[in-house]
A and B are shown apart, each in its own frame.
Chain A
Amino acid sequence: MNWARFASVIPIAAIIWAVFAGEAVVKKTPRTDGRIVVTYWEKWGDFEADAMRAVVDDFNKSQDRIFVDFQSVTNIGQKAMLATSGGIPPDVAGLFGPNVAQYAYNNAVIPLDEFAQEAGIKREDYITQYYDICTYRGKLWALPSCPASTALHYNRKMLADAGWDPDNPPKTIEELTRLDEMVFKKDGDTIKKMGFLPTDPGWWPWAWSGVFGGKLWDGESKITMTTPENIEAFTWMGSFAKRYGSATVQSFQQGFGTFKSPQNAFMDNKTATVLQGVWMANFIEKFNPDLDWGAVAFPYPEDHPELANSTIIDLDILVIPRGAKHPKEAFEFIKYVQTQAAMEKLCTGQKKQSPLAHVSESFIKNHPNPFVELFQDLASSPTAYSTPKTPIWPQWADEIKSATEVINGKKEAEENQGSVRAALQAVQDRMQPKLDNVIRRERALGIYREKGSVAN
């Protein structure tokens, strides 16, 4: 055999090997102990994944019929959807709360009502706001894993340096604005410090609406972007860029490092306060353990004390994708996670609060987050709010983000409210037809429930 011929054999051999051996690599070898393998995709990495892995191990030890195979998967929102459409979904997927409507609408998950009923899982077992995130158009599509809520985190030293009593952090929006003016420091054209910056980290550009008691929609079919509360909220959000000049604030913000770094504006003593979630404690501990900080409920407008204790509630969820091979066994595992012991183990490991209505005393007492009780209480506050439950939310949120950029980019301070209204109106005009389209399709598919026909 000459060399050329030999060389041409190699790629052919490689292909043959890939076809046969490749299948062995991809194909799961069945467990020799005869257990049913439930594949579980989860978004978490690092210590958050470790916390769930511990719960999975407990579950696998607790019985001998089912084996849960935990896998960390990045960008899970899209991958789970694509795997489901390709007919090879995992048995359990750990998604984000706002995915519920999107997945339910696209027929990508199976309803859990019957399973839950059989298992005796009820809405009252949970902080109801969290349970409600799992429902869409009157059906249950998911169950909670780790919950979160947000609060105003403040840097005690920066408050004290500015002459603000660190034991008495701002309670109202007006106080927060005043604090910002007191902390604010400029060197030439460059901002050095701010008391508060609504666009940092900028993850919830829609959330100011909730702080001012506004509603983004009626919960059913009408988007309400331009209510007086929303206009007031976004005007306040834009007032920071206006006060100091939008370009100046932008350059200040560009000097911030990424969120998960010691150059995070809050940990780097650049902003004295920040709206952040229960997870913030972990990052402070990791990146600036010496930071002297505290957390309180986010301020409310002075003339609306009834809006106190507002918080964004968010939830990680477990779903069973449509086409999963072992839905029954998958639910067994989900049910196990819902037990108080497993849930508290998971949430302690992730340093978050619990979504359950009842928590043990030791959970709060031994919790690594010193403010866990605040977050736990805020979650059941009547002024808590979460993202609108609609499949168009990802796009809607992007539209709101664009609108906030328009509002913050405007230079003329006088025509404040007019420009805010115009920016919000643009969101309204763009999204309402899309929502109408969703409802038209839901009616056709029989998913849509008329208002009042269901509890939530």
Chain B
Amino acid sequence: MKFTNQSKAGLLFALPWLIGFSVFLLYPLLRAFYNSFTEYTVLTPAVWIGTENYHALMKDKVFWQSLGNTFYYAIFAVPLSTIVAIGLALLLNTKVKGQAFYRTFFFLPALVPAVPMAILWLWLFNGEKGIVNYGIQVLNDHNWLFQVPKPNWLGDKTVAKNVLVIMSTWTVGHAMVIYLAGLQQVPLALYEAADLDGASPIRKTFKITLPMLSPVIMFNVIMSIITSFQIFTQPYIMFPGGAPERSTYFYSMYIYDAAFRDNNMGYASAMGWIMFLIIFILTFFARKYMDKKVHYEAN
């Protein structure tokens, strides 16, 4: 292959990224793959043990439990946060007074770092003094429709995971901005044509806006699947050790514990690769399925 001056310049500009990618991503990725076939405690040389780590994982109850918890979270958090993000974007796209203010306002939560946010939610959902249960109490005191139960959000193993699902809607800011940008791309001519035909706003949303937005939706859903499967910071801070009874013990937490609590890098690497495959497969099918549905603006 002959390098033209132009491709040389291109390579040169891409070089910082290429170096970063190779050193911080490609090498660790390949090394982790090798490590997953070894017993490796960092300070002693890795010992090749074949597929033993993978066999052990298949028999590991905590592995399956953490995987189940992670799937539960993703199954509920991905659609919920997608709907909330699109909904907000649609609302913020309407021409109202103070539009710029609202856009900033709804994006703000996405700027709060994960740790203080987790601690804040910890207090909101506190079973004894939390504002969430206080709100429910106020409703109940006014005999509003029916008595709403006040769950022990953080202590009850059947509800704790849902706290995190609810929290996932709090950080939809980034996705929302991308949807908003997508909405601006929808050609006005389509709406004008629909208006002439007398289409209702709801019909316009479902027949024009969402189809035109579908490439953006696909991108966001895939990103959302990837981040959901990697959920770590919030549960790690809010539910130490996955309490209660490991109901909030997620896959990444187990990887972290295996690597840095148990110094079992081989096991952790094997788990990392399984997660990689899961996300890869899910993304692959998401693309395959959605590609058929996605409407790209025709050339």
Interface residues of A (CB under 8 A from B): 78, 81-82, 84-85, 102, 105-108, 190, 247, 250-255, 322, 391-392, 394-395, 398, 401-402, 405-406, 409, 430, 441, 445
Contacts and interface: CB of A to CB of B under 8 A. Distances in A.
Contacts of B62: 430
Given A106-B263, A394-B262, A402 B43 contact: no
B42 interface: yes
30 contacts: A82-B42, A102-B263, A106-B42, A106-B44, A106-B263, A107-B43, A107-B44, A250-B152, A250-B156, A251-B128, A251-B152, A252-B128, A254-B129, A254-B155, A255-B128, A392-B262, A394-B262, A395-B262, A398-B241, A401-B243, A402-B241, A402-B243, A402-B245, A402-B246, A405-B244, A405-B245, A406-B245, A409-B157, A430-B61, A441-B39
Interface in B254-269: 257, 260-263
Interface in B235-256: 241-246
A247 B155 contact: yes
B16 to A, nearest CB: 9
A391 B262 CA distance: 8
A251 B245 contact: no
Given A81-B263, A106-B41, A398-B257, 13 more contacts: A102-B263, A106-B43, A107-B44, A190-B128, A247-B155, A250-B155, A253-B155, A254-B129, A255-B128, A392-B262, A394-B261, A402-B243, A402-B245
B152 A247 contact: yes
A395 B241 contact: no
Contacts of B243: 401-402, 405
A251 B244 CA distance: 13
Contacts of A82: 42
A445 B62 CA distance: 29
Nearest to B265: A85
B129 A409 contact: no
A250 to B, nearest CB: 4
Nearest to B261: A394
Contacts of B43: 81, 84-85, 106-108, 322
A401 B39 CA distance: 27
Contacts of A190: 128
B131 to A, nearest CB: 13
The 8 closest A-B pairs by CB, nearest first: A255-B128, A250-B155, A251-B127, A85-B42, A106-B43, A251-B128, A254-B128, A405-B245
Contacts of B44: 106-107, 445
A402 B62 CA distance: 11
B139 to A, nearest CB: 17
Interface string B201-245: 000000000000000000000000000000000000000011111
A254 B244 contact: no
A78 B260 contact: yes
Contacts of A394: 261-262
B92 interface: no
A441 B39 CA distance: 10
Contacts of A78: 260
Give the residue among B129, B155, B157, B241 with the most A Cβ atoms within 10 A: B155
A98 to B, nearest CB: 12
B126 interface: yes
B32 interface: no
Given A254-B154, A398-B241, A409-B244, A81 B127 contact: no
Nearest to B258: A395
A322 B263 CA distance: 16
B245 to A, nearest CB: 5
Contacts of B39: 441
A395 B261 contact: yes
Nearest to A257: B129
Contacts of A247: 152, 155-156
Contacts of A392: 262
Interface in B90-148: 126-129
Contacts of A402: 241-243, 245-246
B32 to A, nearest CB: 16
Nearest to A249: B155
Contacts of A106: 41-44, 263
Nearest to B263: A106
Contacts of A430: 61-62
Contacts of B129: 254-255
